[in-house]
Amino acid sequence: MVDVGDKIAGKRTAVAEARVLFPANVAVALRESGLRSAKGPIFDTAIVAGVMGAKRTHELIPFCHPLGLDSCRIAIELEGDAAVIRCTVSVHHKTGVEMEALTGASVAALTVYDMCKALSHDIVISEVRLLSKAGGKSDTVREAAP
């Protein structure tokens, strides 16, 4: 692990995004179903799973520090034929939460896939990326994908 002993604790935030691309007929079926599958409410379940993933990042990614997150919010919107997932994480600590945000967005995307795979196996998870981070040595901001 990276030694963060000499760093100053402060508020650290990160936002990550993932996209789940559906075949057009699947996107139509999801809208018609009210975003439900045979397993239940798709986006609600993905939000819970994404938060759980973000909180357990240190168990999944070697050398990540275990962090008690102050906040983890996941928003999912159906835009055209894609579910756009944004995970926003914050903590007051000596290290950032980029990996937690990326893990939360990824786990939420995997959950959407799992809940929709009975409709098609042509679903694609793409564009998992960090949109912004703040509070550390350097801040980063990227524009959202079109």
- Would you give per-residue pLDDT tens digits along the chain (146 residues)? 787 777 777 899 999 999 999 999 999 999 999 999 999 999 999 999 999 999 999 999 999 999 999 999 999 999 999 999 999 999 998 887 999 999 999 999 999 999 999 999 999 999 999 999 998 777 777 765 55
For residue 139, is it within any domain?
Answer: no
Domain of residue 130: give its range. Answer: 10-134
The predicted pLDDT at position 145 comes to 55
Q: Is residue 146 part of a domain?
A: no
143 assigned to some structural domain: no
Inside any domain, residue 82: yes
pLDDT of residue 103: 98
Instruction: Count CA within 13 A, CB hemisphere, residue 41.
Output: 7
pLDDT for the residue numbered 5: 74
Beta carbons of 88 and 101 less than 8 angstroms apart = yes
Asked if the structure places residue 107 within a domain, the reply is yes
Distance of CA 42 to the CA centre of its chain: 15
The answer to whether residue 5 sits within a structural domain is no
* Position 140 in a domain: no
Query: How do 140-141 and 36-37 pair as beta strands?
Result: unpaired
The whole-number pLDDT of residue 142 equals 72
pLDDT, residue 137, reads 72
Q: Does 41 fall in a domain?
A: yes
12, amino acid identity:
R
Q: How far is CA 110 from CA 11, 57, 80, 95, 121, in A?
A: 29, 15, 19, 26, 13
Number of domains in the chain: 1
**Global confidence as pTM:** 0.91
Catalytic residue set: 114
Q: What is the CATH number of the domain that holds 64?
A: 3.30.70.640
